[in-house]
Amino acid sequence: GNLFRHARSGSTDIYPEVAAADLLSGVFAAIGVLSALWARQRTGQGTTIDVSMSDCLVAANAILLAPTLNGAPPPDIMTEPAYGLFTCGDGKLLSFSIAYEDWFWEALCGALEMDDVAALQRPQRIARADELRARMARILLRHPRAEWERRLAAADAMFAPVLELADVVRDPHLLARGLFTRIAGDPSGQWHVRQPLVFAGGAPGPMRPVPRLGQHSLPVLREAGLDEARIGALLAAGVVLDGAG
C-alpha cells in the first residue's frame, strides 16, 4: 500500500531503501518472545510465535487500512500545505510534518513571517493548500537552511533538516545521545550504531565484536557433549573449523 501511494505522487524512480519488512518483523518477533516469556512465567505454559513479514507491513499501515476496511477514504495528510519537503536557499532540504496541530502551524507561520494566515485551521489550510505551499516554498528560498533552523527552533516550530548520511553521524543531538559507539577491546576500532533503548539512564550497546568464523566451534561442541577425540576427528575431517585462534 505504501509504495502505491508513493508512486501515485509521481515518483516511481526513488523508493525507500530501509528494509522495513525485515526490521518490523524483527521488532515484532522480539515483542512476541518477551510476551511469551512473561506468559510462561505466569502460567507455566510455553507457546509458538508466528511472525510474518507481510503481516508486519500490513499492521504498520493500520491507520490507512482501517478506513478502507470500513468503506471510508484513507486519511491523506499530504493535502496539508506544511507536510513534506522544502528546499532552502542553499539547496538543502527541510522537512515539515504539520497535519492536525493548529498550534504547530501558528509557530511555523511566526518563523516564516506568515502571520496573516497563522490563524487558519486545518480545513481552511487544506482548501488553500496549493497557495500556501507555494508561498512557503518561495519564502524558504530566501535563506540557507542553517538560518531557517535557527529561526524555526526559536519559534518552537515542528521541523527537521533532511540530512545526508555523512551529516547524520556528525549530528550534535545524536552524538549527545551516544548513539554511535565502539566496542571496548575490539582491535578493529570500528564504530557501531547502538540499539536505541535507554534503561534508567543507561544505553546498552554492543558488548563484543561479531564472532570470527568458527570462533565458538569448540565450546559449542563440548557443551553438546562431544569428547575431545570426537571433536578432533571432526576438525581433521574439515567438518568444523576452529577459528578461536
Domain-wise residue ranges, the chain: 2-69, 77-162
State the pLDDT at residue 200. 87
Average pLDDT, the chain: 90
**End-to-end CA, the chain:** 50
Lowest-pLDDT choice from 64-68, 153-157, 226-230? 64-68
Distance CA 159, CA 217 (A): 50
Segment 165-192 mean pLDDT: 90
Taking only the tens place, the pLDDT of each residue in 33-64 is 999 999 999 999 999 999 999 999 999 989 88
Dihedral, CA atoms, 131, 83, 1, 69, nearest 10 degrees?
Answer: -80
State the pLDDT at residue 218. 94
Taking only the tens place, the pLDDT of each residue in 63-97 is 888 999 999 987 777 789 999 999 999 999 999 99
Sheet holding 93-97, edge to edge: 83-87, 93-97, 160-161
- Using the predicted structure, report yes or no on whether residue 245 has a pLDDT greater than 70: no
State the pLDDT at residue 7. 54
Determine if the pTM surpasses 0.85.
Answer: no
The CATH number of 77-162 is which of 3.40.50.300, 1.10.3720.10, 1.10.10.10, 3.30.1540.10? 3.30.1540.10
